Amino acid sequence: MIALPWTDHLIVAPIILPLAASGLMLLIKERHIRAKRAIAAVTISAMLAIALVLLHGAATAPAGGGAAIRTYLLGNWPAPFGIVLVLDRLSALMLAITSLLGFTSSLYATARWDQAGPRFHALLLLQLMGINGAFLTGDLFNLFVFFEVLLAASYGLLLHGSSTPRIKAALHYIAINVATSLLFLIGMGLIYAATGTLNMAHLAVRIHAIPDGDRMILDAGAAILGLAFLVKAGMWPLSFWLPKAYSAASAPVAALFAILSKVGIYAVLRVSLLVFTPGISSDAYFASFWLLFGGLATIAFATIGVLSSKTLSGIAAYSLMISSGTLLATIGARDGAVVAGALFYLVSSTLGVSAFYLLIELVQRGEIDDDALAPVTEPVFDDEYTGAVEGSDDAEIGVVIPGTIALLGGGFMFCALVLAGMPPLSGFISKFAIINGLLGSSGAIPMSTWILLTLMIVSGLAILVATTRAGIDYIWTPSNQAQAPLRISEAIPVGVLVAVCLGLLVFAAPVMRYMEQTTRSLADRSNYSSTILQAPRVQSAGDPL
Amino acid sequence: MEIVLAIGIGVLTASGVWLILRPRTFQLIVGLSLMSYAVNLFIYATGRLQIDEAPVIEQGAAVPLADPLPQALALTAIVISFAMTALLLVVLLASRGLTGTDHVDGEEP
């Protein structure tokens, strides 16, 4: 038997590793929190390393052809029939962001949040598994399955620390997402009925040979499927659940949820670029029309939301919606250069929002009672340990680091600038790349592009106004309460995210080159399809084929 | 056959949609269950309706056959919606216990 080279098995590792680790954690009693933390730290560090290796592989692959597209045939069935994992430049990029956010959230949670309820680390790892799977899968049905995995884990994480507001928010969140999953299934069923396949690569080939009579079924299916993705992405008017759910979540969970709406964006981008090939029919125009105007409406709504938010978590949630809206509108505007800028913006805004969620809890700590941390419900599991965790007394005696407020204030300002897209930080460069792409396309610039530009700039200004106001309230105004101690394990994650944002700024040219290559390979549909459909099987001795 | 299935899916979906728009959590959960039944039937129908046909056939055997893929999809979808319903039920009970009301907003209007 000729085995695969071990590097090929790395493609499946981002799914297998967290699944195995979280299964292992369920066997350990809840009071051995240190063992769980150690397992989580090792697993997530390994995932981060693997994601970086895969990202490096994708970045150094030759630009043309299918060199950057790697496939992994689960069960060794040939591509359109079996389940196939696909790693291309876009998935490698998303895997890296996911692992980074998982790393920072998990580290941040060890300061105190992982003791607020049972099974935090196991759920976090399952969440990462679902997100990674959604980025890696090559067919629509497994996209659905991984969506369900990540949603199921996100329900658990949202409920973590079960207080009344959290349960209220989670009830809405779960109901909306269960209904959305049904829409996903309906859309997928219609697409299967029209094309007879669910493999995305196969779909891109089959779509050229659809008889006119079935075209309407396909269009309806794609529209319903798109609706399901847009609920996840948080497009207005499908996004009223988002601010409430994200504000109710505990800080490390909300920081990880920053990537969840991007999973919806990823799915929209992947499916619309692959399936709605311009030139076949009016579908492409139909989809981009709704994305553009839906995105514009989302930015407008979220801009008003940011200005009217009274809480920091409200500002963060509406900033997230602004970033979703900007991404959807730029994908709808459909231009190679614009998608490259949009991907840069996606990375920068996701990291910015995530860091912001971590920071606001630190900033507000003096204002909020610690009651929020104490579980209000009785233990659910027999081995659930609600008393003090052994050894945690040492950790509780945190020293008030001199200049804590300066660190927090600096971080807060940094995040605000990244989110608002003000120079000189990465938010500005990515917005500049989008605007440059929008204006650089040849021919007359349509009215909608001008509206998009105006909204992008106005929304940045709104974020700046809102964060300045909140910053004055929370950081500048002297508080009569003693500043709560800032732990190292809380400062490092914020520092890491901020450092990566700075890295995006310093290495903007290579990052932008990677995004441009990603865009080119996304646009090359026939290459994507042929690479996946001709993925070689592993030959073994007694194999008849 | 087609008309019976179509009416069945339609009635289940319509009842489900009406129920999830109601204000009580129990109505919500029954509505979501009905909708998931409708969706499972719908997925099943996307492989075209065949009566008394084998889903997996020998090489060279005569068509028609019952498409096996939608059956596999429906099976997975059933398992997932079952798990989600169970989870929602727990959250619903927790919400009832903490807020003292079965209104979906956690408070009486």
Which chain A residues have any C-beta within 8 angstroms of a chain B C-beta? 141, 145, 148, 152, 155, 159, 162, 164, 167-168, 170-172, 174-175, 178-179, 181-182, 185-186, 188-190, 192-193, 198, 376-377
Return the ∠ at Cα A112 (arms to A108 and A116), rounded to 5°: 120
- Chain B nearest CA to A211, separation (Å): 16
Helix, strand or coil, per DSSP, at residue A111: coil
The secondary element (H helix, E strand) that includes residue A233 is helix A212-233
Domain ranges of chain A: 6-370+400-528
**pLDDT value of residue A479:** 61
**pLDDT value of residue A484:** 62
Name the pLDDT band for A200 (thresholds 50, 70, 90).
confident
Inter-residue contact A345 to A262 (CB < 8 Å): no
- Chain B nearest CA to A80, separation (Å): 12
Of the partner residues A145, A167, A193, the one whose CB lies closest to the CB of residue B95: A167
**pLDDT value of residue A501:** 86
Greater model confidence, B26 or A484: B26
CATH of the domain at B16: 1.10.287
A-contacting residues in B 1-20 (Cβ below 8 Å): 20
Name the pLDDT band for A205 (thresholds 50, 70, 90).
confident
Q: Do the chains contact at B91 and A168, CB–CB below 8 Å?
A: no
**pLDDT value of residue A376:** 42
**pLDDT value of residue A373:** 45
Q: Do the chains contact at B81 and A181, CB–CB below 8 Å?
A: yes
- Chain B nearest CA to A15, separation (Å): 19
**pLDDT value of residue A65:** 59
Greater model confidence, A538 or A149: A149
The answer as to whether B11 is a domain residue is yes
End-to-end CA distance of chain B: 45
Residue of B63, B84, B92, B103 to mutate when probing chain A, most A C-beta within 10 A: B84
**What would the pLDDT profile of A421-478 be if each residue is shown by its tens digit?**
877 788 888 888 888 888 876 667 777 788 888 888 888 888 888 888 888 877 776 6
**What would the pLDDT profile of A95-150 be if each residue is shown by its tens digit?**
999 999 999 988 888 877 777 777 888 889 999 999 999 999 888 888 999 999 99
Return the ∠ at Cα A522 (arms to A517 and A524), rounded to 5°: 100
Residue of A83, A157, A174, A184 to mutate when probing chain B, most B C-beta within 10 A: A174
Q: Sort out which chain B residues have CB atoms less than 8 A from A188's CB and list them.
A: 43, 73
**What would the pLDDT profile of A235-277 be if each residue is shown by its tens digit?**
888 888 888 888 888 888 888 888 988 999 999 888 887 776 6
Using CA atoms, how far apart are residues B54 and B43, in angstroms rounded to an integer? 18
What mean pLDDT is reported for chain A?
Answer: 80
**pLDDT value of residue A64:** 63
Taking residue A409's Cβ as centre, other Cβ atoms within 10 Å add up to 17
The answer as to whether B106 is a domain residue is no
**pLDDT value of residue A169:** 86
Q: Is B71 on the interface with A (CB under 8 A)?
A: no
The Cα-based distances of A360 to A367, A411, A474, B8 in angstroms read 11, 10, 9, 51
- Chain B nearest CA to A197, separation (Å): 9
Q: Sort out which chain A residues have CB atoms less than 8 A from B104's CB and list them.
A: 171-172, 175
Q: Give the percent of chain A with pLDDT over 90.
A: 11
ipTM of the complex: 0.92
The Cα-based distances of B29 to A60, A160, B20 in angstroms read 50, 22, 7
**pLDDT value of residue A527:** 78
Tokens encoding A167: 């349960």
Return the ∠ at Cα A168 (arms to A163 and A173), rounded to 5°: 120
Task: Locate all alpha helices (DSSP H) within A61-139, ordered by sequence.
Answer: 89-109, 120-136
Q: Sort out which chain A residues have CB atoms less than 8 A from B28's CB and list them.
A: 175
Q: Is B41 on the interface with A (CB under 8 A)?
A: no
Using CA atoms, how far apart are residues A454 and A434, in angstroms rounded to an integer? 13
Say which residue the tokens 């269950």 belong to.
B33
Using CA atoms, how far apart are residues A224 and A290, in angstroms rounded to an integer? 13
For residue A167, what are the contacts with CB-CB under 8 A and spacing of at least 6?
A159, B91, B94, B95, B98, B99, B106
Using CA atoms, how far apart are residues A464 and A450, in angstroms rounded to an integer? 21
Helix, strand or coil, per DSSP, at residue B24: strand
User: What b/e sequence results for A308-326 when a residue is b if at least 16 CB atoms lie within 10 Å of its CB, and e otherwise?
Assistant: ebeebbbbbbbbbbbbbbb
Q: Do the chains contact at A179 and B20, CB–CB below 8 Å?
A: yes
Q: Sort out which chain A residues have CB atoms less than 8 A from B99's CB and list them.
A: 164, 167-168
Q: Do the chains contact at B94 and A167, CB–CB below 8 Å?
A: yes
Residue B83: closest CA among chain A residues belongs to which residue?
A152
**Looking at the predicted structure, is the pLDDT value of residue A72 above 80?**
yes
The answer as to whether B21 is a domain residue is yes
The Cα-based distances of A250 to A32, A166, B49 in angstroms read 22, 9, 48
Return the ∠ at Cα A243 (arms to A478 and A369), rounded to 5°: 40
DSSP B31-79: HHHHHHHHHHHHHHHTT---SS--SS--TTPPSP---HHHHHHHHHHHH
The one-letter code for the residue type at A370 is D
Mean pLDDT of A390-397: 43
Mean pLDDT of A332-349: 80
Chain centroid to CA A429: how far? Answer: 20
Of the partner residues A152, A174, A186, the one whose CB lies closest to the CB of residue B39: A186
Using CA atoms, how far apart are residues A105 and A114, in angstroms rounded to an integer? 10
Tokens encoding A114: 């992982």
**pLDDT value of residue B31:** 93
Q: Sort out which chain B residues have CB atoms less than 8 A from A186's CB and list them.
A: 39, 42
Helix, strand or coil, per DSSP, at residue A146: helix
Using CA atoms, how far apart are residues A250 and A446, in angstroms rounded to an integer? 43
**pLDDT value of residue A469:** 85
Question: How many domains does chain B contain in total?
Answer: 1
For residue A400, what is the DSSP state?
Answer: -
- Chain B nearest CA to A48, separation (Å): 29
**pLDDT value of residue A425:** 80
**Looking at the predicted structure, is the pLDDT value of residue A504 above 80?**
yes
Q: Sort out which chain A residues have CB atoms less than 8 A from B83's CB and list them.
A: 152
Tokens encoding A292: 């553009």
Q: Sort out which chain B residues have CB atoms less than 8 A from A190's CB and list them.
A: 46
**What would the pLDDT profile of A307-334 be if each residue is shown by its tens digit?**
888 888 888 889 889 999 988 888 887 6
Greater model confidence, A176 or A35: A176
Q: Is B34 on the interface with A (CB under 8 A)?
A: no
Of the partner residues B28, B76, B94, the one whose CB lies closest to the CB of residue A175: B28
The Cα-based distances of A293 to A235, A326, A437, B30 in angstroms read 10, 11, 18, 35
**pLDDT value of residue A252:** 86
Domain that holds residue B85: 2-54+66-99
**pLDDT value of residue B35:** 92
Q: How many residues does chain A have?
A: 545
Q: Do the chains contact at B106 and A171, CB–CB below 8 Å?
A: yes
Taking residue A362's Cβ as centre, other Cβ atoms within 10 Å add up to 23
Inter-residue contact A386 to A177 (CB < 8 Å): no
Low-confidence residues in chain B, pLDDT < 70: 57-58, 60-63
**What would the pLDDT profile of A365-393 be if each residue is shown by its tens digit?**
655 544 444 444 444 455 554 444 444 44
Residue of A150, A167, A172 to mutate when probing chain B, most B C-beta within 10 A: A167
Inter-residue contact A49 to A406 (CB < 8 Å): no
**pLDDT value of residue A280:** 55
Q: Do the chains contact at A175 and B42, CB–CB below 8 Å?
A: no
Tokens encoding B106: 């956690």
Q: Sort out which chain A residues have CB atoms less than 8 A from B25's CB and list them.
A: 171
**pLDDT value of residue A2:** 53
**pLDDT value of residue A184:** 92
The answer as to whether B72 is a domain residue is yes
Omega before A237 within 30 of 0, i.e. cis: yes
Tokens encoding A420: 């608002």
Q: Do the chains contact at B76 and A141, CB–CB below 8 Å?
A: yes
